[in-house]
Structure 1
Amino acid sequence: MDGGATPPAVDAATPEAAAFLLVGLLAGAHCLGMCGPLVSVYADRLSKQDGTNALTLRQVRQHGLFNLGRAVSYAFIGGLFALAGTLFFGAFDSVTAVGSGVRATTGLLVGTAIILTGIGYLVGRSAAIDRLTPDVVTRLFGRISGWATARVDTLVGGPRILGLGAIHGLLPCPIIYPAYLYAFATGAPLRAAALLGLLGLGTIPTLFLYGTLLGQVSARRRATLHRALGAAFLVLGYISLSHGLMLLGIHVPHLHIPFYQPLG
């Protein structure tokens, strides 16, 4: 984007990775709206299978596997979105000016979408954001969730609970949509997979505590976390937006994070 030595890859990725982890940590309370009912169901089944309401080592293991399945699912799908970005941008690389314009436009669009999402959470309009999911998608994945809930007894007791967690990477979620868009804009599958994996790992503390100890998060606390989540999305959106502006020759303060670069 500008002159000077390229910073080390680890240093370049640190602000980006921290932002994704922060989004995950703050998004955990939001995830309860989607994952909470299923978590309650399988937590109840685990307790009945163990014949006790006390938390057992087996239950801790199963909750851990469930959440690991979610994180792996996010990472895999994020990598697929980034691979799609690689193919999309690569189609324009033969014409340098066109390729740069496409990457700049993508950065601007993705950054704007993520920033608008962040503003929605900041001003308490998260319910409106939830409604952005098309009805046909909601119905489709509602069936997937219903299928999983109906078979929860056969899935919770062993390693197959990983699959129960992995299903959540496919369920409609306004937290994950911006992250998948960001992954597409990077055009770097391995990096995107790592970032989405971090986001998934970040959601684990809240869902784990919900399934084992808490049982609920107050509406007031959830609203506070949503506002903080909005601020985190503003950071991610600005990273993408500033990248697009820099490609257009508009110099703005930015982080040295490598987005998609053509081969050669």
Structure 2
Amino acid sequence: MDGGISLGLPAATPEAVAFLLVGLFGGAHCLGMCGPLVSVYADRLADREGVDRRSLTVRQVRQHALFNVGRALSYAAIGAVFALVGGLFFDAFDSVAAVGSGVRATTGLLVGGAIILTGVGYLVGQSAAIDRFTPTAVTRLFGRVSGWATARVDRLVGGPRILGLGAIHGLLPCPIIYPAYLYAFSTGEPLRAAALLGLLGLGTIPTLFLYGTLLGRVSARRRATLHRALGAAFLVLGYIPLSHGLMLLGVSVPHLHVPFYQPL
């Protein structure tokens, strides 16, 4: 790091842009997980207002916004926790320079490789295969949490508690969010990770907001196009820790300049 103190916050860096693009293009995938719940609470809101789902009122717009802000805040908070754990993990090895460098390099290779493989899966149209890597226990937990939330939509949808309904999604199994959490772990910088995951969450908002209000559905063709774009964004995101890991091993490769990116 250059002189001065870094708060670890991303500016207009390649990683910040990549996280935002992952969110924007990943919104189509989010519909598979969040779409049913969004449809349920959107219908409940419309019923309460006595209007058609697509006839938006100020209150409906506010509730949709709160739901999506809850998701983004949840991603940011969990990303910060992963980064904190990563920072403690790296600090444990930093007392021995050779070991610490090797651990950081290995982490970069593993995290970067996992994210790149995820991107390739989306590029070749095999995103469903990625879902199969989710452990059965996690899938069951998702079903229980989703069922719990759906059963309580009527209580949560009408006021500020809809923030919590959105926040639940940060804990659910998702091939978009989990690679991002791994990346957060590799940075070891909670503030930076929170900002990056927040950007990702904000990027998903347009698709889910439009789905819950005006669209109601996204065509399979449009979703496939967005998945390919998502795959390209993941390739960029995964290359950052991968290239830093290689350089720590003495392998010179082209790399994207990410200010204050210390661990890898």
Q: Shared topology, TM-score over 0.5?
A: yes
User: CA offset at residue 256 of structure 1?
Assistant: 2.2
Q: 1:103 and 1:136 mapped to 2: Cα distance?
A: 30
User: CA offset at residue 56 of structure 1?
Assistant: 0.5
Structure 1 segment 192-211 matched on structure 2, within 5 A: 192-211=193-212
Q: 1:83 and 1:44 mapped to 2: Cα distance?
A: 39
Asked if 1:239 is matched to 2:240, the reply is: yes
Q: What SS does the corresponding residue of 2:94 show, helix, strand or coil?
A: coil
Structure 1 segment 30-69 matched on structure 2, within 5 A: 30-53=29-52, 54-69=55-70
Please tell me the residue identity of whatever aligns with 1:211: G
User: CA offset at residue 130 of structure 1?
Assistant: 1.2
Q: Percent identity?
A: 81
Is contact 2:156-2:165 (8 Å) kept? yes
Is contact 2:27-2:208 (8 Å) kept? yes
Is contact 1:83-1:189 (8 Å) kept? yes
Q: Deviations over 1:97-146 (max 9, x none)?
A: 00000000000010010010000000000000111111111101210110
Is contact 2:45-2:60 (8 Å) kept? yes
User: CA offset at residue 260 of structure 1?
Assistant: 3.6
> Residue 149 of structure 1 aligns with which residue?
150
In structure 2, runs of 5+ residues without a counterpart are none
Q: 1:199 and 1:32 mapped to 2: Cα distance?
A: 15
Q: 1:13 and 1:209 mapped to 2: Cα distance?
A: 26
> Residue 77 of structure 1 aligns with which residue?
78
> Residue 224 of structure 1 aligns with which residue?
225
Is contact 1:86-1:260 (8 Å) kept? no
Q: 1:165 and 1:10 mapped to 2: Cα distance?
A: 24
> Residue 95 of structure 2 aligns with which residue?
94
The alignment yields a C-alpha RMSD, in angstroms, of 1.9
Please tell me the residue identity of whatever aligns with 1:67: N
Is contact 1:185-1:259 (8 Å) kept? no
Aligned residues: 259
TM-score, L = length of structure 2: 0.94
Please tell me the residue identity of whatever aligns with 1:222: R
> Residue 105 of structure 1 aligns with which residue?
106
> Residue 173 of structure 1 aligns with which residue?
174
TM-score, L = length of structure 1: 0.94
Change (3 A) 1:261 1:221: closer
> Residue 25 of structure 1 aligns with which residue?
24
